[in-house]
Amino acid sequence: MDYFIESAPLDKLQSDCLLVGLYENQQLGPAATALDQQFGGLLSKLIGRGDIKGKNAETLLINHLPEGGIQRLVLVGFGERGKIGRKQFRKALIAAVGAIKASKVKAATAALLDIDVEAGDVQWKARQIVELFGDGVYQYSATKKVDDKIPLQQLAIVASEAQHAQAEAGLQQGAAIAAGVELAKSLGDLPGNVCTPTYLAEQALALAGQHDKLTCQILEEHDMEALGMGSFLAVSRGSRQPAKLICLDYQGGDSSHKPIVLVGKGLTFDAGGISLKPGQGMDEMKYDMCGGASVLGILRAVTQLNLPLNIVGLIPSSENLPDGAANKPGDILTSMSGKTIEVLNTDAEGRLILCDTLTYAKKYNPDVVIDMATLTGACIVALGRVPSGLFGNDDKLCNDLLGASETACDMLWRMPIWEEYQEQLKSNFADLANIGGPDGGSITAAVFLSKFAEDFRWAHIDVAGTAWRTGANKGATGRPVPLLTQYLLNRATA
């Protein structure tokens, strides 16, 4: 998709399809009012006969218009004026993107910056328009012929002289985030027999190859052996695909600045290992690398925005399969930190690959470490599929992430990691058990990780319920790329 700012006035505009907004009770927005005059009251007439009321997410496509530069019009309802928050704006836009897709146009123009949004300025609106269009035109095609290709290739955003600078900034941010989300989604949707640890490593190397400030180094199993990553390597042992620890380094800031370290779980298929998962829905465990894909997506966005920060991306990547060499319940592992771990369930493998990666992160002398992982089904039980779960040992970091999530509309909810939960991870045979029983499973997983993150400010984001959609509309979402990119944008301007 191509995005650009359109500065021609509406009466001079050339467009295949123009989007304009209206409010509930048939109130036209400013752009719609101007067009109504231009078209001799056409919009008022359609509205007057009740074709559209202006309720949130209502749309009306007008396929034929009087002679002029505008070929089609999509009216978009935003709801009651004065009561439109960020979520309502996004919801209406998602409907608008749907209408544009149905109209089969190649190029669209959005005259929607004039809609009043609570806590949504011109920059925020421009960015959301780009992000939601980018998201809406995504189509998986790697292993499937797409008959109904979405023809939309261009989106212009109408901005007045006064809006231009803000709109342009929002467009740039939106385009970068959209590109990052697209990368994360396309990797997430790939099947496990294509997207292996080796494949992920190749993608990381390719990404680094495109940008001067980004370098990539892959640690192989023998390197991990030498580092003493007994926990990570145990997970990989039951798989014929070699594990990889993907290390990306983005140097955008002064070399004296401590890096922000992002860690993403890159389990390219999680069958559970010897503690095999039930068959129902197991295919979705190809998405168990979405945390890792998001780290790549975030770095994709960061390089496009050329942010003046130092960022390290670490992606432990492996499969979790059962075979004769696989680790077994009761096995004791020695992690890189020296802590021993009793494996009570081989399906709790994410924390086993992440704990060694967190220990490894220390060598970067990080400012903060933020990991993202499809870590626990229990997180979905606790929070559903709306927010990701946030855990952390530092209130400032957690609050910064919560703030970023509000702006990005990539929801997050903080959960506790109080010491009371540590009881559940006690083992008679090791320093820690790898599971904490049925109660509070997303919390005990986070508490387990926290034991490997004691030397730095750390946050953990459980994206088990948010990294992909299940059901008929199954597909990766690219979350939490918008959230983390916003956090980094905030850090870059702080």
Q: Write out the catalytic residue numbers.
A: 277, 351
Given 135, 331, 347, 400, the residue binding ligand BES (CB under 6 A): 347
Using rule CB under 6 A, residue 348 touches ligand BES = yes
Tell me how far apart the alpha carbons of residues 36 and 290 are, in angstroms, rounded to a whole number: 46
Is residue 64 within 8 Å of 54, Cβ to Cβ? no
Tell me the closest approach of the beta carbon of residue 337 to ligand BES, in angstroms.
20
DSSP string, 240-252: SSPPEEEEEEEE-
Of 288 and 331, which CB lies nearer to Zn ion in the complex structure?
288
Tell me the closest approach of the beta carbon of residue 201 to ligand BES, in angstroms.
20
Given 58, 135, 182, 349, the residue binding ligand BES (CB under 6 A): 349
C-alpha Rg value of the chain to the nearest Å = 24
Dihedral angle of Cα 104, 106, 109, 115, to the nearest 10 degrees: 40
Using rule CB under 6 A, residue 342 touches ligand BES = no
Using rule CB under 6 A, residue 270 touches ligand BES = yes
Using rule CB under 6 A, residue 22 touches ligand BES = no
Stretch that binds ligand BES, among 100-108, 300-308, 347-355, 409-417 (CB under 6 A): 347-355
Which residues are bridge partners to 22 per DSSP? 28, 77
Of 176 and 326, which CB lies nearer to ligand BES in the complex structure?
326
Using rule CB under 5 A, residue 270 touches Zn ion = yes
Using rule CB under 5 A, residue 342 touches Zn ion = no
Using rule CB under 6 A, residue 435 touches ligand BES = yes
- How many of the chain's residues bind ligand BES (CB under 6 A)? 15
Q: Which of residues 441-480 bind ligand BES (CB under 6 A)?
A: 441, 464
Tell me the closest approach of the beta carbon of residue 460 to ligand BES, in angstroms.
13
In degrees, to the nearest 5, what angle opens at C-alpha 217 toward C-alphas 184 and 259?
Answer: 75
Task: Report CA-CA distances (Å) from 218 to 202, 204, 313, 344, 438.
Answer: 9, 9, 12, 30, 36
Of 34 and 425, which CB lies nearer to ligand BES in the complex structure?
425
Give the residue carrying structure tokens 């779960």.
389
Residue ranges of E strands in 292-443: 310-320, 332-334, 340-342, 368-373, 388-392, 412-414, 432-433
Using rule CB under 5 A, residue 350 touches Zn ion = yes
Task: Report CA-CA distances (Å) from 429 to 341, 388, 451, 452.
Answer: 8, 33, 17, 19
Given 376, 393, 405, 466, the residue binding ligand BES (CB under 6 A): 376
Tell me the closest approach of the beta carbon of residue 301 to ligand BES, in angstroms.
24
Binding partner of residue 135 among Mn ion, Zn ion, ligand BES, none, CB under 5 to 8 Å per kind? none
Of 50 and 278, which CB lies nearer to ligand BES in the complex structure?
278
Which residues are bridge partners to 373 per DSSP? 462
Using rule CB under 6 A, residue 427 touches ligand BES = no
Stretch that binds ligand BES, among 154-162, 306-314, 335-343, 374-382 (CB under 6 A): 374-382
**Backbone dihedral region of 472: left (phi > 0), alpha (psi from -120 to 50 degrees) or beta?**
alpha
Number of other residues whose CB lies within 10 A of the CB of residue 494:
6
Binding partner of residue 464 among ligand BES, Mn ion, Zn ion, none, CB under 5 to 8 Å per kind? ligand BES
Tell me how far apart the alpha carbons of residues 66 and 38 are, in angstroms, rounded to a whole number: 10
Which residues are bridge partners to 460 per DSSP? 371, 391
Tell me how far apart the alpha carbons of residues 462 and 467 are, in angstroms, rounded to a whole number: 9
Of 322 and 377, which CB lies nearer to ligand BES in the complex structure?
377
Tell me how far apart the alpha carbons of residues 79 and 98 are, in angstroms, rounded to a whole number: 17
Give the residue carrying structure tokens 């949004």.
117
Of 131 and 270, which CB lies nearer to Mn ion in the complex structure?
270
Binding partner of residue 435 among Mn ion, Zn ion, ligand BES, none, CB under 5 to 8 Å per kind? ligand BES
Is residue 85 within 8 Å of 121, Cβ to Cβ? no
Of 389 and 441, which CB lies nearer to ligand BES in the complex structure?
441
Tell me the closest approach of the beta carbon of residue 362 to Zn ion, in angstroms.
24
Give the interface with ligand BES as residue ranges (CB under 6 A). Answer: 270, 288, 345, 347-350, 374-378, 435, 441, 464
Give the interface with Zn ion as residue ranges (CB under 5 A). Answer: 267, 270, 288, 350
